[in-house]
């Protein structure tokens, strides 16, 4: 039988949620004898090639113009002041390079992520017959007309990690949901002893028996840390001091704007005497161990709002699709307080494995913290756990890639053993 050839395209240099889905899919396809080529538009941080290299047959790094290497809102590519540069020094040379690679490669499948990937591959893919599969990581913000033009006019399958993301797209038979595939076995042998000792030393006798809330993620306004700290300040005046929770923050700022954001929150904390309740622990690779040693997980992501933080002026919005960190916290038996953004209610069942709140109401997070501090709800289970099994993820994607199974449980077991120890890292959401 002819070996089927797949091209994976990665437009970003960052190894985050969408890239972890791509990596797990590469492992599954490689295990089932697909030939995999990884095409990179930007590997400046060496993260993508380093993580993917053991599971692909070849890596091709394209020379990409600086205009296409600007990140944030890719719609800025098409502002009138830069559109000539975007097209003639950016996209057109990029398209030509792709056409030459695709012609030589004779690929049976093309896999890419999000609107950026669709824009960067749309024109070249019009000339090739291979099946096109796009993974849309977060809520679609493009108008219905542009969505149909950009996605459904040339893509065979648009995959989403949640029903919320799927519903943000126009109606089409081409769209479907494939939930994240989690290797649950990794959570069975988490050694939490070292973090327990670290917390005892950090908090001392005065604070170690307090309710402990954990945040793990990026240090940027989109993740809502400012709302969490503002809500704690409101809580301080409405409940006894002895009932105030401790907030533990895992994550590091990665650029000047994020450093400024953190500094503004530190200044606010000092001004309002919150320092003793907030502990910035920096990046920690053992997030699961921290989850095993706290009382609650907090997910304060915004929906959409106006920002005045330096480097984030203007409207900012959530990029969530199906927050993996909430799956992880639930598997760890940790009750979560979560902003009701895209995909959250497909993981959190109210007062079972967490509570949700409306991020667009100013006092809703404060009320959620107050409820937790007074009522101290318990984790009762994870009803939706089976939605996120590795077996379901594997079978659905293999079906898309026209795979004929040669075995059942043994194949899935082997795929599970080859996945990374943390297939979806919370901090790198």
Specify the pairing of strand 212-216 against strand 278-280.
unpaired
Q: Does residue 67 sit in helix, strand or coil?
A: helix
Q: Which has the higher per-residue pLDDT, 410 or 188? A: 188
Task: For residues 370 and 208, give the distance between their C-alpha atoms in angstroms, rounded to a whole number.
Answer: 19
pLDDT band at 73 (very low <50, low <70, confident <90, very high): low
Nearest to 2 by CA among 35, 31, 30, 26: 35
Q: Which has the higher per-residue pLDDT, 413 or 59? A: 59
Q: Is the pLDDT confidence value at 413 over 60?
A: no
Mean pLDDT of 362-381: 96
Q: What is the pLDDT of residue 72?
A: 54
Q: Is the pLDDT confidence value at 309 over 70?
A: yes
Task: For residues 36 and 60, give the distance between their C-alpha atoms in angstroms, rounded to a whole number.
Answer: 11
Q: Is the pLDDT confidence value at 421 over 50?
A: no
pLDDT band at 183 (very low <50, low <70, confident <90, very high): confident
Q: Is the pLDDT confidence value at 74 over 60?
A: no
User: H helices of 108-224, where?
Assistant: 114-125, 144-147, 163-167, 193-207
- Residue identified by tokens 């290299």 is 53
pLDDT band at 17 (very low <50, low <70, confident <90, very high): low
Q: Which has the higher per-residue pLDDT, 390 or 383? A: 383
% of the chain with per-residue pLDDT over 90: 64
Segment 229-255, tens digit of pLDDT: 999 999 999 999 999 999 999 999 988
Q: Is the pTM of this model over 0.75?
A: yes
Mean pLDDT of 255-272: 95
Segment 126-161, tens digit of pLDDT: 999 999 999 998 888 888 898 888 888 889 999 999
Q: What is the pLDDT of residue 313?
A: 79
Tokens of 252: 């590091």
Q: Does residue 29 sit in helix, strand or coil?
A: helix
Phi, psi (rounded to 5 degrees) for 63: -80, 115
Segment 83-101, tens digit of pLDDT: 888 888 889 999 999 999 9
% of the chain with per-residue pLDDT over 70: 92
Q: What is the pLDDT of residue 182?
A: 83
Task: For residues 186 and 208, give the distance between their C-alpha atoms in angstroms, rounded to a whole number.
Answer: 28
Q: What is the pLDDT of residue 428?
A: 35
Q: What is the pLDDT of residue 425?
A: 33
Q: What is the pLDDT of residue 404?
A: 64
Segment 274-302, tens digit of pLDDT: 999 999 999 888 899 999 999 999 999 99
Segment 316-370, tens digit of pLDDT: 988 888 998 999 999 999 999 999 999 999 999 999 999 999 999 989 999 999 9
Most confident of 5-14, 31-40, 65-74: 31-40
Task: For residues 10 and 4, give the distance between their C-alpha atoms in angstroms, rounded to a whole number.
Answer: 20
The neighbour count for residue 386, using CB atoms within 10 Å, is 10
Nearest to 403 by CA among 25, 29, 5: 29
Which H or E element spans position 134?
A: strand 131-135
Q: What is the pLDDT of residue 347?
A: 96
Averaged pLDDT score across all residues of the chain: 88
Q: What is the pLDDT of residue 312?
A: 87
Q: What is the pLDDT of residue 190?
A: 82
Tokens of 258: 């994020």
DSSP result, 304-345: EEEE-STT--EEEE---SS-HHHHHHHHTT-EEEEE--TTGG
Task: For residues 55 and 328, give the distance between their C-alpha atoms in angstroms, rounded to a whole number.
Answer: 24
Q: Is the pLDDT confidence value at 422 over 50?
A: no
Q: What is the pLDDT of residue 187?
A: 81
Q: Which has the higher per-residue pLDDT, 72 or 309? A: 309
Which H or E element spans position 93?
A: helix 92-105
Query: Which range has the worst mean pLDDT, 118-127, 152-161, 399-408, 413-422?
Result: 413-422
Q: Is the pLDDT confidence value at 222 over 60?
A: yes
Residues for the chain: how many in total? 429
């Amino acid at each position: 039988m002819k070996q089927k050839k797949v091209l994976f395209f990665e437009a970003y240099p960052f190894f985050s949620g969408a890239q972890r889905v791509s990596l797990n899919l590469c492992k599954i396809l490689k295990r089932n004898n697909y030939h995999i080529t990884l095409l990179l538009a930007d590997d400046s941080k060496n993260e993508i090639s380093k993580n993917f290299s053991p599971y692909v047959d070849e890596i091709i790094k394209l020379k990409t113009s600086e205009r296409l290497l600007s990140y944030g809102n890719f719609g800025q590519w098409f502002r009138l002041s830069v559109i000539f540069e975007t097209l003639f020094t950016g996209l057109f040379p990029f398209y030509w390079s792709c056409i030459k690679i695709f012609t030589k490669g004779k690929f049976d499948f093309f896999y890419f992520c999000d609107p950026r990937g669709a824009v960067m591959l749309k024109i070249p893919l019009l000339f090739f017959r291979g099946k096109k599969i796009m993974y849309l990581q977060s809520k679609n913000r493009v108008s219905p007309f542009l969505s149909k033009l950009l996605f459904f006019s040339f893509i065979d399958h648009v995959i989403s990690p949640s029903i919320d993301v799927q519903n943000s797209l126009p109606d089409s038979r081409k769209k479907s949901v494939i939930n994240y595939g989690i290797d649950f076995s990794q959570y069975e042998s988490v050694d939490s002893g070292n973090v327990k000792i670290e917390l005892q030393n950090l908090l001392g006798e005065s604070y170690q028996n307090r309710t402990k809330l954990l945040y793990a993620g990026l240090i940027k306004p989109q993740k809502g840390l400012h709302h969490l700290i503002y809500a704690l300040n409101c809580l301080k005046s409405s409940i006894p001091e002895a009932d105030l929770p401790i907030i533990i923050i895992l994550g590091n700022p990665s650029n000047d704007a994020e450093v400024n954001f953190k500094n503004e929150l530190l200044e606010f904390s000092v001004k309002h005497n919150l320092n003793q309740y907030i502990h910035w622990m920096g990046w920690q690779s053992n997030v699961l161990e921290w989850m095993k040693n706290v009382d609650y997980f907090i997910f304060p992501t915004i929906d959409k709002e106006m920002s005045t933080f330096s480097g984030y002026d203007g409207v900012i919005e959530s990029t969530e699709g199906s927050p993996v960190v909430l799956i992880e916290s639930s598997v760890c038996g940790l009750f979560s307080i979560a902003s009701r953004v895209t995909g959250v209610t497909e993981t959190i069942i109210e007062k079972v494995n967490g509570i949700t709140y409306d991020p667009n109401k100013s006092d809703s997070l404060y009320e959620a913290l107050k409820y937790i501090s007074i009522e101290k709800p318990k984790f009762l289970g994870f009803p939706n756990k089976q939605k996120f099994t590795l077996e379901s993820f594997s079978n659905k994607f293999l079906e898309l890639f026209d795979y004929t199974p040669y075995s059942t449980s043994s194949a899935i077991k082997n795929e599970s053993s080859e996945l990374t120890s943390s297939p979806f890292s919370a901090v790198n959401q």
